[in-house]
Amino acid sequence: MTKNLKSIFVFCLLLFVSLKVSAQITVSALRCEYRDAPLGINSPNPQLSWLLASNAQNVKQTAYRILVADDAALLQKNTGNIWDSKKIVSDKSIQVIYAGKKLASAKVYYWKLMVWDNQGKASAWSKPSKWQMGLLTAADWKGAKWIAYEKMPDSLRIVPAIDNPADSRWNKGNDVLPLMRKEVTITKEIKKATIFITGLGQFDLSINGKKVGDHFLDPGWTQYDKHAQYICFDITGNLVKGGNVFGMMLGNGFYYVPGDRYHKLKSAYGYPKMICRTLIEYKDGTTGNVISDESWKAAPGPVTYSSIYGGEDYNATLHRQGWDKTGFNDAQFRNAVLVSGPQVLEAQQQEPLKIFDEFSVKKITQPKPGVWVYDMGQNASAIPFIKVKGKRGTIIKITPAELLDDQGLVLQAPVGSPVYFNYTLNGEGTESWKPQFMYYGFRYIQIEGAVPQGEAGNSQLPTLLEVKSLHTRNSAADAGSFTCSNELFNKIFKLIDWAIRSNTVSVFTDCPHREKLGWLEEAHLVGSSIHYNYDIATLSRKVIRDMINSQTKDGLIPDIAPEFVKFGGPFRDSPEWGSSSVILPYYVYQWYGDKQILQESYDMMARYVAYLESKSKNHLLYFGLGDWYDIGPKDLGPSQLTPGGITSTAYYYYDLTLLSKIAGIVNKPADEKKYAALAAGVKAVYNKTFFNPKTSQYGTGSQAANAISVYMGLADPEHKSKIIDNIVQDIRNHNNGVTAGDIGYRYLLRVLDEAGRSDVIFDMNNRSDVPGYGYQLAQGATALTESWQGNRISSNNHFMLGHLMEWFYSGLGGIRSDTGSNGFREIVIRPEIVGDVNEVKANYMSPYGNIANEWKKEANTFYMTTTIPVNTTAVIYLPAKKSSNITVGGKSIKANSTLKLINIENGKAVIKAGSGKYSFKVVDE
C-alpha cells in the first residue's frame, strides 16, 4: 500500500512539473528591423521584436530583459557588454527601440532576451540571434569609388526621364553592358567576410565563378539623383585562402532606359557602374578591405542589350569562359574608369526579388511556319527560360505576351510593343539561358529561330529541349492564407493574389509590363489586402522613403515614386494618389505598431497637407483623376460617375484627420489641434456643397461618392444609415453590379462590411455574368485585370482592383484589428456568415503571432476554432441567441474563466478573450 502511495505521489509530482513546464512562456523569432538576423541595418537605434508562446490561456508579457553583445561567447555567459536593459516592466514585445551603447558600422551584434508573464513567471533565455550594421557614414566605405567601363558624357544624361519620342535625345541604346573583375590574394585564415555592394541599374555578383546569393534585380529602384541602395552579403563561404576573383555583371534597369524597342520612358542617369567594399576579418584578429577602384578590370559582356521595358539580348559567342575565376587571362580587359554616383547610399532593407514558381508548358501551337507559341498556363511576372541545342551563331527570338491575337500569335499591342529577347547560341552542347536584368508580365512565349524537340524533322534550326517561365517577385514572406467552401471565391482569391505577386517588386507597380512604375494609390487602397497576405512591412517603409525623396519643394507628392519621369496634369498631381504619403505611414503604424515611421515621415506628411491647403478654394479641391476606371457610359479612364471635387476633397479631409491623430501619437499637441480644426472646416463646407439632406446622397449619388463620404467620416451620424441604404439600393439597381472604380471600390466594401451588409458584398461578387472578378475568370483571366470588364485593350495583370481580398480575411475569415489598436494587439474575430458559404479557414501572422480562425456551419450547428496569440486580447462574435447555446471545448462558456461573455444582441454573442486556442460550438435550438 505504501509503495502504491509513493508511486501515485511521484506520478502526481511529475504531472505537476510537466504541466508547469508546458504552461511556461517561451520566446522565439527574434527580429531586428522586421527581419531575422539581418545584414546591413541602417538605423543607429534599431527596433527589436519577438514572438511569445504558451500552452496556457490568457497569457501576457509583463516585463523583459534584453542582452546585446559584440561577442557571441559573452552572450552565452549572459553578459550584454553593449546593452543590458535589466528587467524592464513593460508588455511591449514589438518595435522595442534599442537603447544601448553606440553601434558601429559593419559590426555584428548578438542578442537574446527573457520575459516575465502575468503570473510573475520568467521564461528561459531565448535562442540567440544577431544583426549586422551597415555602413553608416561615407567614411565607412574606406575609399571605395564608383567605377564603370566608360563614363557617360554630360550631354547624354537624361534626368528626369522623358516620355516624348520627338525629343532629340530619344536615341537608341546599344551601349556596353560590362563585366567587372578583381583578383585578390588572401594569405590568412578567414574568420568572416562581408561585402557591401551595389551596381546601377542592376547587378549580379559572382566570386570564384559562383553567383553570390539568390537575388534577382538587385538593388531596389530608387530616386537615383537622391540616393541608391546597396546590398550586404556574407561571403565567408565564398572566399578561400589564396587566389580569389570578384566578378560583376551590370545591367541597365531604370538607371539607363534606352529608347529603342518598347519603352514607357527614356532615362540616362549614366552608364552602368558599381561600388563595393569587402570587409575581411581574419582569425588572427586583424582585418582587411577590398574596395572598388581603378585597379578593377572591365570589358564588354555577353549581354548586348538591356532594357527594363524592351527586353534583353545575350550573345553566348561573346561569353568569356572563366572570366570570374582565377587563371583567366584578362589581357582584353582594361582598367575601370572612375565615375560619379549617388551621394547617399543606404543598405537595402526591403526583401530582395527572387525567382519562385516554375511553370512548364501546357500547350504548344504553330500559328504560322517557323513560329511556335508556348502556353505556360499562368499570367505572371516572369522571365523565360530555354534549354537548347544548335549551331553556333544562330539567333533565337523570344517574344512574351499576356494574350494571343486572332491568328494565335502573341499580342503585345495593349501594353506596348515590341518587347523581345534574343539569344545567340554558342554551339557547344546543350545551352541554358534566362534573362538577368529584365522581367515581364506574360502567359505566352513565342519562339522563332528554333523548333520544339520532336518537331525538328530535317530542320537545321536549333532544337528546344525545354521551355519554362520563372515567376519573379519580392520575397516578402507569406503572412496569411484563406480558403472557403465557395469555389468561385477561392478562384477570385488566387486571381487577385497572382496580380499582387506580379506587381510586388521593390515598389508596388501597376503592371509588370507596360509601365512598371510605383503608382501610389495602390499602396494604400490595396495595401490592406496585401498586408493580410504578405509581410510587406519593410517594402512599405521603402515606398515611404521613395515618397520622401520624390516630394517637390512646394510639397507635392507625385503620383509615382520613385518619380523617374514627370507626367503632366492629374497624372502627376492627384490627391487620391499623393495622399499615400499620409495614409501609408499611418497604415504601417496600424498594422505593425511602428511609431518610428510616423516620426520619420512627419515632415513629408505636414508639407503635403500644406500643399493641398494651398491648392484648396474655400476648403475644397477640384483636381485629380478621381475614381479612375469606374464603369460609366464613356471609355475607361478618369472618373465618370463621381464629381472630382468629392474624391479629392474627401482625401484632403482624411489626410487632415489622420495627421491630427499622428500629431497626437508623436507628441505634437499644437499640430493635433490645428489639423483637427482645419478638418472640421473642410467637413462643414464639403457637406454644404456636396450633400443633399433630402435624398441623403452625396453628389450624383454614385457608389463611390456615398461610400467614400461615409468611410472617411464626412457623413454626420444621423444621416449615415440612410446613406448606406442608398448605397445598397444603387447596387441592387445595377443588378447587384459594381460601378465604383479604383478609388471608390475599397471604400464601398469597407462601408458595407462595417455596416453588417456582407450579404450585399456576397451578391455582388458571387457571379460571373456582370463585369467583376467572376466575369474576368469567365473570360479566361489567370491574374486580375486592369478593368472590371477584363478587356483586351488594357493590362491583364493589374492589382489595383484587388480589394476583395481584404474582405475575404476580415469579413468571411472574421480577422480584424480593433479600432484604435495597432499591430493587432487588440483583435476582433467577427466572421460574416453569408450566402452559400458554410466553411472558412483563415489565418494572419500578426506582429504578435498567428491569428487563426476556422468556422463551419452544419444544419443548426455552428463550429468555430479561434487562436489568439500570447500578449494580445480579442473580442469574439458568435451567432448565438443565448449563452446556453454556446460551449467551449465541450463545456459551457460560463465554465471558462478566461472568457467573458459581454452581451448577446442582434443574434450575436460578444465575448472577451485572452490568448489561447478556443473551440466553440453553437447550437441553434
pLDDT at 583 over 70: yes
pLDDT at 644: 85
SS3 104: coil
CA dist., res. 810 & res. 798, Å (int): 22
The position carrying cell 468611410 is 711
CA dist., res. 853 & res. 841, Å (int): 6
CA–CA distances in Å: residue 377 to residues 25, 359, 372, 692, 779: 47, 8, 15, 50, 14
Amino acid at 633: P
pLDDT at 199: 98
CA dist., res. 410 & res. 401, Å (int): 6
Please say whether the dihedral angle defined by the alpha carbons of residues 613, 618, 624 and 625, taken in this order, is positive or negative: positive
* pLDDT tens-place string over residues 532-574: 999 999 999 999 999 999 999 999 999 999 999 999 999 999 9
SS3 46: coil
pLDDT at 1: 42
* pLDDT tens-place string over residues 473-501: 999 999 999 999 999 999 999 999 999 99
pLDDT at 14 over 70: no
What is the side-by-side strand order in the sheet with 256-257?
A: 158-162, 266-268, 256-257
Instruction: Say what the alpha-carbon torsion angle 201, 207, 210, 213 is, to the nearest 10 degrees.
Output: -60
Strand partners, 850: 845
* pLDDT tens-place string over residues 505-530: 999 999 999 999 999 999 999 999 99
SS3 556: coil
pLDDT at 22 over 60: no
**Secondary structure element (H or E) that encloses residue 846, with its range:** strand 839-846
Q: Both ends of the chain: CA-CA distance in Å?
A: 51
Among residues 42, 38, 123, the alpha carbon closest in space to that of 871 is found at 123
- Cβ-contact 647, 621 below 8 angstroms: no
- Cβ-contact 598, 544 below 8 angstroms: no
Cell numbers of 390, please? 544548335
- Strand pairing class (886-888; 916-923): antiparallel
- Cβ-contact 875, 827 below 8 angstroms: yes
- Cβ-contact 218, 348 below 8 angstroms: yes
Mean pLDDT of 704-710: 98
pLDDT at 15: 42
Q: How confident is the model at residue 10 (pLDDT cuts 50, 70, 90)?
A: very low
- Strand pairing class (311-315; 420-424): parallel
DSSP 809: I
Q: Is 128 exposed, middle or buried (0-12, 13-18, 19+ CB in 10 A)?
A: middle
| Higher-pLDDT residue of 85, 634 | 85
- Cβ-contact 566, 558 below 8 angstroms: yes
pLDDT at 825: 98
Q: How confident is the model at residue 846 (pLDDT cuts 50, 70, 90)?
A: very high
Cell numbers of 601, please? 515621415
φ/ψ of 302, rounded to 5, equals -75, -15
CA dist., res. 435 & res. 421, Å (int): 8
- Cβ-contact 829, 814 below 8 angstroms: yes
Cell numbers of 127, please? 535562442
pLDDT at 11: 45
CA dist., res. 515 & res. 635, Å (int): 20
Cell numbers of 248, please? 560583376
Mean pLDDT of 771-799: 94
- Cβ-contact 154, 141 below 8 angstroms: no
* pLDDT tens-place string over residues 77-118: 999 999 999 999 999 999 999 999 999 999 999 999 999 999
Give CATH for domain 480-812. Answer: 1.50.10.10
74-98 exposure pattern, b = at least 16 Cβ within 10 A, e = fewer? bbeeeebebbebeeeeeeebbbbeb
CA dist., res. 571 & res. 626, Å (int): 11
| Higher-pLDDT residue of 71, 12 | 71
The position carrying cell 523583459 is 64
Weakest mean pLDDT among 129-133, 390-394, 786-790: 786-790
Q: Strands (DSSP E) along 153-226, which ranges?
A: 158-162, 178-186, 190-200, 202-207, 210-211
CA dist., res. 374 & res. 153, Å (int): 43
pLDDT at 691: 98
pLDDT at 159: 85
CA dist., res. 808 & res. 123, Å (int): 37
The position carrying cell 544577431 is 130
pLDDT at 455: 83
pLDDT at 284 over 90: yes
Among residues 315, 293, 320, the alpha carbon closest in space to that of 303 is found at 315
CA dist., res. 60 & res. 873, Å (int): 9
pLDDT at 897: 84
- Strand pairing class (190-200; 227-234): antiparallel
Cell numbers of 295, please? 585597379
- Cβ-contact 66, 48 below 8 angstroms: yes
Q: How confident is the model at residue 905 (pLDDT cuts 50, 70, 90)?
A: confident
Strand partners, 439: none
Helix (H), strand (E) counts: the chain: 17, 52
CA–CA distances in Å: residue 722 to residues 283, 627, 710: 75, 23, 11
- Cβ-contact 758, 834 below 8 angstroms: yes
Weakest mean pLDDT among 155-164, 443-452, 756-765: 155-164
SS3 821: coil
Q: Which contacts qualify for 787-790: CB closer than 8 Å, 24 or more apart?
A: 787/629, 787/636, 788/629, 788/631, 788/738, 788/741, 789/631
CA dist., res. 874 & res. 876, Å (int): 6
* pLDDT tens-place string over residues 713-730: 999 999 999 999 999 999
User: Which CATH number fits the domain 2-133, given the four candidates 3.40.630.30, 3.40.50.10440, 3.40.50.2300, 2.60.40.10?
Assistant: 2.60.40.10
pLDDT at 174: 61
Among residues 763, 803, 801, the alpha carbon closest in space to that of 781 is found at 801
pLDDT at 124 over 80: yes
- Percentage of the chain beyond pLDDT 70 is 96
Please say whether the dihedral angle defined by the alpha carbons of residues 232, 238, 244 and 250, taken in this order, is positive or negative: negative
pLDDT at 16 over 50: no
Q: How confident is the model at residue 8 (pLDDT cuts 50, 70, 90)?
A: very low
User: Do 138-350 and 826-923 have matching folds?
Assistant: no
CA dist., res. 514 & res. 204, Å (int): 25
For residue 201, whether the previous peptide bond is cis, meaning omega lies within 30 degrees of 0, is: yes
φ/ψ of 868, rounded to 5, equals -115, 125
pLDDT at 6: 52
The CATH class of 354-474 is: mainly beta
pLDDT at 895: 87
* pLDDT tens-place string over residues 133-149: 999 999 999 999 999 99
φ/ψ of 648, rounded to 5, equals -65, -40
What string of DSSP letters covers 314-377?
EEGGG--TTTTSTT---TT-EE-EE----SEEEE--SPPEEEEEEEE-SEEEEEETTEEEEEEE
- Share the mean pLDDT of the chain: 95
Q: What is the chain's length?
A: 925
> Largest Cα–Cα distance in the chain?
104
Which residues, at least 6 apart from 925, have a Cβ–Cβ distance to it below 8 Å? 860, 885
CA dist., res. 362 & res. 149, Å (int): 43
**Secondary structure element (H or E) that encloses residue 873, with its range:** strand 873-879
pLDDT at 21: 43
CA dist., res. 638 & res. 743, Å (int): 11
Among residues 659, 658, 657, the alpha carbon closest in space to that of 686 is found at 657
Domain ranges (residues) in the chain: 2-133, 138-350, 354-474, 480-812, 826-923
Mean pLDDT of 231-247: 98
CA dist., res. 45 & res. 790, Å (int): 48
Give CATH for domain 826-923. Answer: 2.60.420.10
Overall fold of domain 138-350: Jelly Rolls (2.60.120)
